[in-house]
Structure 1
Amino acid sequence: MKGLLKLLAIIILFMGYSCKQNNSQEPHITPSESVTEIYDIELIEPLNWWVGFKNQELQLLVKHQEISKATPKINYSGVTIREVHKADSPNYLFIDLMISENTKAGKFNIEFVFENGESLTHTYELKARQKSPEEYKGFDSSDAIYLITPDRFVNANPENDIVETLNETTIDRTDGYKRHGGDIAGIINHIDYIHDMGFTAIWPCPLLTNDMPRGSYHGYAMTDFYEIDPRFGTMKEYLELSSKLSDKDMKLVMDQVANHCGLEHWWMKDLPFKDWVNYQAHYEKNKENWNGLVTKTSSHRRTSNQDLYASQVDKEDMTDGWFVSGMPDLNQRNPFMAKYIIQNSIWWVETANLGGIRQDTYPYPDKHFMSNWVRAIMTEYPNFSIVGEQWSYNPLVISYWQEGAINKDGYDSDLKSVMDFPMQQNIVDALNENEAWDKGLVKIYEGLANDFHYANPKDLLIFPDNHDMSRIFTQLGGDKINTKIALSYLLTLPRIPQVYYGTEILMDDFDNPGDHGLIRTDFSGGWKGDEVNAFTGEGLTADQKDMQSFLRKVLNYRKSSKAIHNGETMHFAPQNGVYVLFRILGDETVVHVINKNEGVTNLDLPRFNEIDLNGKTLKNIITDETIVWGDMLKLNEKGSMILTTKF
Structure 2
Amino acid sequence: MKTLKLILLTLLVVTVFSCQESTSEQKEVSEPVTEIRNDIEKVEPPNWWIDFKNKNVQLLVKHPSIGNATAKINYSGVSLVKTYQADSPNYLFLDLEISEAAKAGQFNITFKLKDGSELTQTYELKSREKSAEDFKGFNSSDAIYLITPDRFANAIPNNDSVEGLLQQGVNRTDDYARHGGDIQGITDHLDYIEDLGFTAVWPCPVVINDMPSGSYHGYAMTDFYKVDPRFGTLEEYRKLADDLRSRDMKLIMDQVANHCGLEHWWMKDLPFKDWVNYQENYEKNRDNWDHKSTKTSSHRRTTNQDLYASKSDYQEMADGWFVSGMPDLNQRNPFMANYIIQNSIWWVETLGLGGIRQDTYPYPDKTFMSDWAGSIMTEYPNFSIVGEEWSYNPLLIGYWQDGKKNKDGYKSNLKSTMDFAMQKHIVDALNEEESWDQGLVKMYEGLANDFAYASPKDIMAFLDNHDKSRVFTEFKGNIANTKMALSYLLMMPRIPQIYYGTEILMDDFDNPGDHGLIRTDFPGGWEGDSVNAFTGEGLSAEQKDMQSFLTKVLNYRKSSEAIHDGKTKHFAPENGIYVLARISENETVVHIINKNESPQELDLSRFEELELNGKSLKNIISRENITWSNSLKLSSKGSLILTTKF
Q: TM-score category by the smaller chain?
A: over 0.9
1:221-246 per-position Cα deviation (integer Å, ceiling 9, x unaligned): 00000010000000110000000001
Residue 556 of structure 2: aligned partner: 557
Partners of 2:290 and 2:261 lie apart in 1 by: 12
Structure 1 residues 69 and 569, CA, compared in 2 at 3 Å: closer, same or farther? same
Residue 177 of structure 1: aligned partner: 176
Residue 35 of structure 1: CA displacement? 3.5
Partners of 1:253 and 1:270 lie apart in 2 by: 32
Structure 1 residues 12 and 114, CA, compared in 2 at 3 Å: closer, same or farther? farther
Residue 601 of structure 1: aligned partner: 600
Residue 97 of structure 2: aligned partner: 98
Residue 232 of structure 1: aligned partner: 231
Q: Does 1:542 align with 2:576?
A: no
Q: Which amino acid aligns with 2:412?
A: S
Q: Tell me if structure 2 keeps the 8 A contact 1:251–1:354.
A: yes
Q: Which amino acid aligns with 1:487?
A: L
Matches within 5 A, 1:224-623: 224-437=223-436, 440-623=439-622
1:435-476 per-position Cα deviation (integer Å, ceiling 9, x unaligned): 425861110110000001100000000001100010000011
Residue 30 of structure 2: aligned partner: 29
1:99-146 per-position Cα deviation (integer Å, ceiling 9, x unaligned): 001211000000001233210000000000011100000000000000
Q: Tell me if structure 2 keeps the 8 A contact 1:438–1:576.
A: no
Residue 3 of structure 2: aligned partner: none
Residue 17 of structure 1: CA displacement? 4.5
Partners of 1:466 and 1:371 lie apart in 2 by: 25
Q: 3-state DSSP class of the match of 2:290?
A: helix
Q: Which amino acid aligns with 2:538?
A: G
What TM-score results when the alignment is normalised by the length of structure 1?
0.96
Unaligned 5+ runs, structure 2: 1-5
Which has the higher mean CA deviation after the structures are superposed, 438-447 or 237-246? Answer: 438-447
Partners of 1:177 and 1:46 lie apart in 2 by: 32
1:509-536 per-position Cα deviation (integer Å, ceiling 9, x unaligned): 0100000000000001000110000001
Partners of 2:407 and 2:159 lie apart in 1 by: 52
Partners of 1:338 and 1:189 lie apart in 2 by: 37
Partners of 1:629 and 1:335 lie apart in 2 by: 62
Q: 3-state DSSP class of the match of 2:216?
A: helix
Partners of 1:437 and 1:413 lie apart in 2 by: 38
Q: Tell me if structure 2 keeps the 8 A contact 1:570–1:582.
A: yes
Matches within 5 A, 1:76-91: 76-91=75-90
Structure 1 residues 220 and 645, CA, compared in 2 at 3 Å: closer, same or farther? same
Q: 3-state DSSP class of the match of 2:29?
A: coil
Residue 310 of structure 1: CA displacement? 0.9
Q: CA RMSD in A?
A: 1.9
Residue 645 of structure 1: aligned partner: 644
Residue 288 of structure 1: CA displacement? 1.1
Residue 189 of structure 1: aligned partner: 188
Residue 116 of structure 2: aligned partner: 117
Residue 21 of structure 1: CA displacement? 3.7
Runs of 4+ deviating beyond 6 Å: 9-16
Partners of 1:546 and 1:267 lie apart in 2 by: 50
Q: Tell me if structure 1 keeps the 8 A contact 2:434–2:440.
A: no
Residue 264 of structure 1: CA displacement? 0.2
Q: Tell me if structure 2 keeps the 8 A contact 1:437–1:577.
A: no
Q: Tell me if structure 2 keeps the 8 A contact 1:439–1:596.
A: no
Q: Tell me if structure 1 keeps the 8 A contact 2:204–2:218.
A: yes
Q: 3-state DSSP class of the match of 1:553?
A: helix
Partners of 1:439 and 1:392 lie apart in 2 by: 21
Q: Tell me if structure 2 keeps the 8 A contact 1:439–1:577.
A: no
Q: 3-state DSSP class of the match of 1:327?
A: coil
Q: Tell me if structure 2 keeps the 8 A contact 1:563–1:584.
A: yes
Between the aligned residues of both structures, percent identity stands at 69
Partners of 1:90 and 1:308 lie apart in 2 by: 42
Q: 3-state DSSP class of the match of 1:484?
A: helix
Q: 3-state DSSP class of the match of 2:248?
A: coil
Q: Which amino acid aligns with 2:203?
A: P
Residue 600 of structure 1: CA displacement? 1.1
Q: 3-state DSSP class of the match of 1:362?
A: coil
Structure 1 residues 635 and 11, CA, compared in 2 at 3 Å: closer, same or farther? closer
Residue 139 of structure 2: aligned partner: 140
Q: 3-state DSSP class of the match of 1:581?
A: strand
Residue 22 of structure 1: CA displacement? 7.6
Q: 3-state DSSP class of the match of 1:430?
A: helix
Residue 414 of structure 1: CA displacement? 1.0
Partners of 2:23 and 2:372 lie apart in 1 by: 45
Q: Tell me if structure 2 keeps the 8 A contact 1:438–1:574.
A: no
Partners of 2:376 and 2:187 lie apart in 1 by: 27
Partners of 1:22 and 1:123 lie apart in 2 by: 19
